[in-house]
Amino acid sequence: MKRKHPAKDHNRMTKHSFLVLNGPNLSRLGKREPEIYGCLGLDDINRGLADAFPDITFEFYQSEYEGALLEKLFECEDKGSVDGIILNAGAFTHYSVALRDAISAIRIPVIEVHLSNIYAREEFRRHSVISEVCAGVISGFGSLSYHLGVQALMAKAAEKSSEGKC
């Protein structure tokens, strides 16, 4: 259970700020194995999110490097700049203990998303080392996985703001 970030009070907050964080090879979407990952590029997916959720302020970030992803997570934590993170960690999902530790070290809720259904693919993709420290996992819905991730974060924030009011 993550502690609440002091900079974020969901009772008072009206506008959400979410980080959409993508890891290695996701810059190649649209060109990369379209039969698995679809025809949309990462820019198309990001634009689709901004269009679908005009009331949310998005920050979009992608890197091929593990350390850069960690630094982005810590930057968001230290600045209190976002109140939720949608993360497609790409292949780091399956083996990056460093990424898992970084997610554990921050208080911002993280939703793990995948375009493909990792549980219906090769054996090595069926295990995620980050799922345990994420607020939830969405896998297998193509670009819709990101949209569902945003909805999950919104639902989590609403749940928080009504905590103890049942």
Q: Which residues are annotated as part of the binding site for substrate?
A: 88, 94, 101, 115-116, 125
DSSP state letters, 134-165: SSEEEESSTTHHHHHHHHHHHHHHHHHHTTT-
Q: Which residues are annotated as part of the binding site?
A: 88, 94, 101, 115-116, 125
Distance of alpha carbon 22 from alpha carbon 45, whole angstroms = 11
* 18 burial via Cβ count (<10 Å: 0-12, 13-18, 19+): buried
Our CB check for ligand DQA shows the closer of 17 and 116 to be 116
Our CB check for ligand DQA shows the closer of 4 and 47 to be 47
Q: Which residue of the set 16, 37, 146, 147 is catalytic?
A: 37
- Contact call for residues 56 and 17 (beta carbons, < 8 A): yes
Which residues contribute to the site for ligand DQA (CB under 6 A)?
25, 88, 90-91, 93, 114-116, 118, 125
Q: Which residue of the set 10, 16, 114, 147 is catalytic?
A: 114
Q: 3-class DSSP state for residue 111?
A: strand
| Shortest CB 145 distance to ligand DQA, Å | 7
Our CB check for ligand DQA shows the closer of 7 and 97 to be 97
Q: Is 37 a catalytic residue?
A: yes
| Shortest CB 18 distance to ligand DQA, Å | 18
| Shortest CB 82 distance to ligand DQA, Å | 21
Task: Please enumerate in sequence order all residues whose Cβ is within 8 A of that of 141, keeping only pairs 6 or more positions apart, or say none.
Answer: 115, 148
The residues that are catalytic are 37, 114
